[in-house]
Amino acid sequence: MCGIVGYIGPRQAVPILMEGLARLEYRGYDSAGLALIHGGQVSVRKAKGRLDNLRSCLQDDPVQGTCGVGHTRWATHGEPSQINSHPHTDVQGSIAVVHNGIIENYESLKEYLAQCGVTFRSQTDTEVVAHLIHHLYQGDPVAAIRQAMHRMQGSYALAIVCGDTPDTLFCVRKDSPLVVGWGDGEQFLASDIPAMLPFTRDVYPLEDGEIAVLTTAGIRVLDAFGQPKDVTPQRVDWDVAAAEKGGYPHFMLKEIYEQPKAFRDTLHAYVDAQTLTIRQERMPLDAQAIRALSRVKLVACGTAYHAGMVGKALLERLAGLPAEADIASEFRYRDVQITPDDLCVVISQSGETADTLAAMRKAKQAGARVVAVTNVVGSTVSREADDVLYTLAGPEIAVASTKAYTTQLLVLSLLALHMAQARGNIDETQARALLADLLRIPEQAEQVLANRERIQRFASLHYDQHNVYYIGRGLDWALALEGSLKLKEISYTFSEAYAAGELKHGTIALIEPGTVVVALCTQPALLDKMRSNIEEVRARGARVLCVAQQGLPMDAFERWDIPQVPPEWAPVLTVLPLQLYAYYVAVAKGCDVDKPRNLAKSVTVE
């Protein structure tokens, strides 16, 4: 996510804005910038890369001013670059805007403004906002901002300075957080509380649709109808570390609970909810190219590989396409047969994993078309692949991947559906029904995550279990692998994942009284087989923890339900209780949840 800061008061703004941006670095970013007002002029300084680059830019070309805004950018539209970094201004440079969020209809707004004679310099959705507000401005910044809000769709936290009002800061909140803070004759704004803590602890998180107008005299809040709203400052007594986690004890838990929003952002990027269609312009390969494909190879490492296994199953089931999921470190050295009518899908949250990069280059060298699924705009896979499907999970700080993985599942689900339609395996009516179900996933995910007490209690009672087995069939086998990896990597508990039908071919010898077996039973067509496998292990004393769809009868020692959902879309929900289970076991064991021993967030070496 991007980071926003703002200041107005008697002091020079640059040091305060830079301090605030430094407090937001933990969120991840690829460029930064400031806009200040001085003598009625808006001055902008911005630089690609770390904050030090912006500091150098300010040393070379200082800027004065006691009113300004600052921004750290996490790219979603347009690669990381100086021109794409914020703030963005209108052509005259009279209004500057910094933004966190996604303007979903920016292309149609851009088209309209271009017809009005506006020329654009960047590839970003945010620049459209600056031009739109300027286009609507007729002397009253608040009126122009409100009119712009009526035209914009999507999520946005905006901070705005206007040359005509040098002693005023404006900010708006819709879906992306924004906080204002009171000082003594000075006021602050930020996308997150850590940026404010050095200056004030009296804050007010704006609500959706609200506008705040900050001057040295105070802060005026307007409600979603433009009416003045009396607000009471809230006293924040968090320390900085807690504030960076949004009040959560760990980044991992914060990111687990960010998943519904990550799902909404990702689905909005690829699905037109009005027409229940996939945005064709966002998908790789046209229908003709898809029909010419003979096979899809999905290649990745770790959790991303587990996503690839789900993608494989969905491509086979929905699109009728032969598909293989490969571990990148094996793929790169195997005599794998790749032909030009193969499609290679590389999946990587960081976009920098060495084995995955090598596998991608091998596939390209063999003439296959490569599609990258990644969470980082401008990452190496995004630059070298033929096409890119971005997950819009926002920065993932915890080493254990959660929201990046589940948004990979969503993107792969949409790719499989897109290909199924192109190959005529699914008609428009079936596709609309499946998309409608997919659009319900964010709310269903909130339901699953709301039931964490049962999971936390089970984990706290059984955290000292020495080995835990995960079993599943079909899609649930891929989820069993992911659930097992989560438990291993953050709680250091030995765990194994097995295709449930494989247990009796050896591993069942390890099951003894009290062994915890996590049985994933979300696939209706395989439920009877799973019941048999559960009986096999219960007969040997196992304590079975079952994850199943609500309403499906499954007898177990402990049961965690997910809402009813088409079996193809179950994985995104099934993994949620598994993430929480691993998290609470790790917490009970006193492990370093966000930075587990021996692990790195991105494995950039072999």
**In the set 31, 43, 72, 348, which binds ligand AGP (CB under 6 A)?**
348
Report the C-alpha dihedral over residues 443, 448, 453, 454, rounded to 10 degrees.
160
Residue 382, interface with ligand AGP (CB under 6 A)?
no
Residue 564, interface with ligand AGP (CB under 6 A)?
no
**Closest C-alpha to 408, from 325, 333, 468:** 325
**In the set 287, 354, 552, 603, which binds ligand AGP (CB under 6 A)?**
603
In the window 395-414, what residues touch ligand AGP (CB under 6 A)? 399-401
User: Which two tokens mark 263?
Assistant: 């799902």
Stretch that binds ligand AGP, among 290-298, 330-338, 342-350, 559-567 (CB under 6 A): 342-350
Question: Is 601 among the catalytic positions?
Answer: yes
Nearest approach in angstroms of CB 304 to ligand AGP is 4
**In the set 67, 102, 144, 304, which binds ligand AGP (CB under 6 A)?**
304
Residue placing its CB nearer to ligand AGP in the complex, 176 or 407: 407
Rounded CA-CA distance 493/452 in Å is 20
Residue placing its CB nearer to ligand AGP in the complex, 347 or 518: 347
**In the set 101, 166, 302, 571, which binds ligand AGP (CB under 6 A)?**
302
Residue 85, interface with ligand AGP (CB under 6 A)?
no
Q: How far apart are the first and last CA of the chain?
A: 29
Nearest approach in angstroms of CB 115 to ligand AGP is 41
Contact characters 480-499, ligand AGP, x per CB under 6 A = ---------x----------
In residues, how long is the chain? 606
Residue placing its CB nearer to ligand AGP in the complex, 379 or 549: 379
Backbone angles phi, psi at 489, to 5 degrees: -75, -25
Pairing of strands 234-235, 342-348: unpaired
Residue placing its CB nearer to ligand AGP in the complex, 353 or 421: 353
Residue placing its CB nearer to ligand AGP in the complex, 13 or 307: 307
Number of shown-chain residues binding ligand AGP (CB under 6 A)? 16
Helix, coil or strand: residue 73: strand
Rounded CA-CA distance 6/508 in Å is 60
Rounded CA-CA distance 80/2 in Å is 12
User: Which two tokens mark 514?
Assistant: 């009290």
Integer CA distances (angstroms), 282 to 388, 414, 426, in order: 9, 11, 19
Nearest approach in angstroms of CB 405 to ligand AGP is 7
Q: Is the CA virtual torsion 7, 9, 13, 17 positive or negative?
A: negative
Question: Is 110 among the catalytic positions?
Answer: no
Which of 2, 57, 301, 521 is catalytic? The answer is 2
Residue placing its CB nearer to ligand AGP in the complex, 174 or 403: 403
**Closest C-alpha to 50, from 78, 100, 76, 85:** 85
Q: Angle at which helices 403-422 and 259-270 pack, to 10 degrees?
A: 30
How wide is the angle at C-alpha 35 spanned by C-alphas 94 and 391, nearest 5°?
Answer: 105
Nearest approach in angstroms of CB 350 to ligand AGP is 3
Contact characters 235-264, ligand AGP, x per CB under 6 A = ------------------------------
Residue placing its CB nearer to ligand AGP in the complex, 350 or 549: 350
Integer CA distances (angstroms), 259 to 177, 180, 403, in order: 15, 25, 5
The burial of 12, by beta-carbon neighbours within 10 Å (0-12 exposed, 13-18 middle, 19 or more buried), is given as: middle
Which residues are near ligand AGP by CB under 6 A?
301-304, 348-350, 353, 356, 399-401, 489, 599, 602-603
Question: Which residues does the annotation mark as catalytic?
Answer: 2, 601
